[in-house]
Homo-oligomer: A and B are copies of this chain.
Amino acid sequence: MADADERDTEPSRDVALIVGGGPGISASCARLFSENGMRVGIAARNPDKPVLQALEKSHAVRRYACDAGEPDAVERLFDDVVRDLGPPTLVVHNIDGRMAEIFRKEITEADPRRVLETLRNSAFSAFLVGQQAARRMRHNDPASNGARGTIVFTNASAALKGFPRSGAFAMACHAKSGLAQSMARELMPEGIHVANVPIDAAIGWTQTDGSRMHRLAGTSIDDNMADPDRIAEVYLQLHRQHRSTWAFEIVLRPWVERW
């Protein structure tokens, strides 16, 4: 398998950009991509978070400040990445957008301004990032697996099912799925692999001290919740898939999850 992987992509020219930066999937992706020879950038509203500073030190990850819901900011981000690292070949949109203020509130109680903000932070930013990624990847030469680049949208259970008391989040996640599907049908025949990955589970995350914690509960992570390191491995597999057999959507859930 290792041989096959190396045959399919050229790590030396692989540039990964992760939009949305936290200690969960984004950090796991940054580490794994870097360990596999990619140059890695990560964009966040606040690029000075300790987890990102630590990644810069440990894995030479480049940090970018970006409000991904702002068209101009996203365009500038891609300009900067091309200048610093080269044209991206793997872009991960990893912004969830759920807001504590309205999540699990009755629809009659949700503040409309937060609902619009959720749509902007999640679905609209996915559009902006996807659009810029498509613009840049089109000009890439195909790698040996036939791909000019890979765009991965991290998504959630709410993309698969609209749960009660989370109308805004259901809108945002469904919108992201619709966007990903449209982009896949449009861009795959141009050699750009687009994938939607709903994580149907609570996700653990890794502390800066290396210990791993449940994102919400603060308890120690175990294999009953999705391990962000394993999610990152799936993203890498998607990036390395040969274009003769591309997966568009992979739902990941722990073995004990009810669905």
| Chain A contacts with B in 9-29, Cβ cutoff 8 A | none
Q: Which of A42-50, A81-89, A93-101, A174-182 interfaces with chain B? A: A174-182
A255–B246 touching, CB < 8 Å: yes
Compute how far the CA of A215 lies from the CA of B189 in the bound complex, rounded to whole angstroms: 22
Across the interface, which residues of B come within 8 angstroms of A123, CB to CB? 119, 171, 175
Compute how far the CA of A248 lies from the CA of B227 in the bound complex, rounded to whole angstroms: 16
Partner of A251 from B36, B172, B226, B248 at Cβ < 8 Å: B248
With both beta carbons as reference points, the residue of chain B lying nearest to A111 in the complex is identified as B71
Compute how far the CA of A63 lies from the CA of B140 in the bound complex, rounded to whole angstroms: 46
Across the interface, which residues of B come within 8 angstroms of A115, CB to CB? 124, 127
A243–B259 touching, CB < 8 Å: no
Compute how far the CA of A247 lies from the CA of B226 in the bound complex, rounded to whole angstroms: 11
Compute how far the CA of A236 lies from the CA of B245 in the bound complex, rounded to whole angstroms: 14
Question: Do most interface residues of chain A lie in helix, strand or loop, or is the interface mixed?
Answer: helix
Across the interface, which residues of B come within 8 angstroms of A135, CB to CB? 108
Q: Residue A134 at the B interface, CB < 8 A?
A: yes
A106–B186 touching, CB < 8 Å: yes
A244–B225 touching, CB < 8 Å: yes
| Chain A contacts with B in 134-188, Cβ cutoff 8 A | 134-135, 138, 146, 158-159, 161-168, 170-188
A178–B171 touching, CB < 8 Å: yes
- Please give me the 5 A-B residue pairs with the lowest Cβ-Cβ distance, nearest first: A162-B181, A174-B178, A162-B182, A164-B186, A170-B178
B233–A1 touching, CB < 8 Å: yes
Q: Residue A131 at the B interface, CB < 8 A?
A: yes
A182-B163, A189-B255 as given contacts; A127 in contact with B168, CB under 8 Å? yes
Across the interface, which residues of B come within 8 angstroms of A165, CB to CB? 182, 186
Partner of A250 from B116, B250, B253 at Cβ < 8 Å: B250
| Chain A contacts with B in 226-259, Cβ cutoff 8 A | 226-227, 230-231, 233-234, 236-237, 241-256, 259
Q: Residue A4 at the B interface, CB < 8 A?
A: yes
A96: min CB distance to chain B, Å:
15
Q: Residue A60 at the B interface, CB < 8 A?
A: no
A123-B175, A174-B178, A185-B164 as given contacts; A253 in contact with B245, CB under 8 Å? yes
A189–B256 touching, CB < 8 Å: yes
A to B CB contacts below 8 Å, 6 in the list: A164-B185, A174-B177, A227-B245, A230-B241, A234-B247, A246-B253
